Amino acid sequence: MGTLELKQTLTGHRGRVWNVCWHPNGTCLASCGEDKSIIIWGQQDSKWVVKTILTEGHTRTIREIAWSPCGNYIASASFDSTTAVWDNKSGQFECNATLEGHENEVKSVSWSCNGHLLATCSRDKSVWIWEINDDEYECAAVINAHTQDVKKIRWHPNEEVVASASYDNTVRIFKEDVEDNDWSCIDILSSHTSTVWSLAWNKEGNRIATCSDDQTVKIWQEYKPDNEPGIVTPKNKSVWKCVCTITGYHTRTIYDIDWCKTTGLLVTACGDDIIRIFKEDSDSDPHQPSFSMVCSMGTAHVQDVNCVQWHPTVPGQLASASDDGLVKIWFYNE
């Protein structure tokens, strides 16, 4: 078993911290929570310190933040039903765009790989796709595909394909139809028996890991038309199959999952206060993979862990956020 070493505890938020997000080059970390503020942390003499606190962008809880791929923008999703976009053109972060349209709480926000599209999802069951041109945000699609509250939205790592997870127990995959410029659902991933809280793509974008209130993690594999194992693909569209269920480890709701793009390790954030790390077995069959738990950090926080995210460039480093009001930086030693 590996170990998770606590590097630093970051205090600054008042109340529950919902989310953390690394800057794409890993030099800073953003966090947000019920205190309606975004804190940007940076390193100083090898310690993480508060660099900037962004306030007054939202009137209610900030549920999630996301850095743009270029690292110059932060999008923030809030219970106040808006998404704010912050930029640092003036030398400091300012909120220069507020995206309105959702009927109630915005739960998640994600930038596409090239930074041209932004996706948001909400309690109102919809997913919105926004097109970005010269700092203008235009709604390109409103997708009413889920039957319940949409919890998480995440773009494919290198294509304009987006996946959403919902209170309706499913994950759905959306893609723009080139013929009529319409965004449509290309597959519904059904297997979880309760709310799907989060999802993460692997580096190649041919697998998705999902985590749920049903206390399991599932691994889904994409099968394109004419795939080798002969999985049937109706209408010449990819299908996603659940190829692995990781069960028996988590004792409460799993709120978040992240798939490391450098090491391939999976990390989960759980309502039992534990951070767990999973690794695919080396002799694993790609169509029937098996994963082993390689680390379980008990009492990683003293309350629910809400978010975990691997550092984009330093293998083994990760950040977590919790109901206990803290952000923690960890290092995984194999």
Which residues are near other proteins by CB under 8 A?
Answer: 16, 34, 60-61, 63, 79, 104-105, 107, 123, 149, 151, 167, 194-195, 213, 252-253, 271, 302-304, 323-324
Distances in Å between the Cα of 92 and the Cα atoms of 11, 73, 86, 126 are 22, 11, 9, 33
In angstroms, give the least distance from the CB of 152 to other proteins.
11
Torsion angles phi and psi, residue 236, rounded to 5:
60, 30
61 or 112: whose CB is closer to other proteins? 61
Residues 255, 304: contact at Cβ < 8 Å?
yes
In angstroms, give the least distance from the CB of 60 to other proteins.
5
151 or 156: whose CB is closer to other proteins? 151
In angstroms, give the least distance from the CB of 115 to other proteins.
28
Residues 89, 113: contact at Cβ < 8 Å?
no
Six token digits for residue 303: 């309350």
In angstroms, give the least distance from the CB of 207 to other proteins.
26
Torsion angles phi and psi, residue 313, rounded to 5:
-125, -25
Q: At a CB cut-off of 8 Å and minimum separation 6, what does 210 contact?
A: 165, 171, 189, 192, 196, 198, 199, 217, 218, 220, 257
23 or 63: whose CB is closer to other proteins? 63
110 or 306: whose CB is closer to other proteins? 306
Instruction: Report strand pairing: 196-201 vs 182-190.
Output: unpaired
In angstroms, give the least distance from the CB of 191 to other proteins.
17
78 or 317: whose CB is closer to other proteins? 78
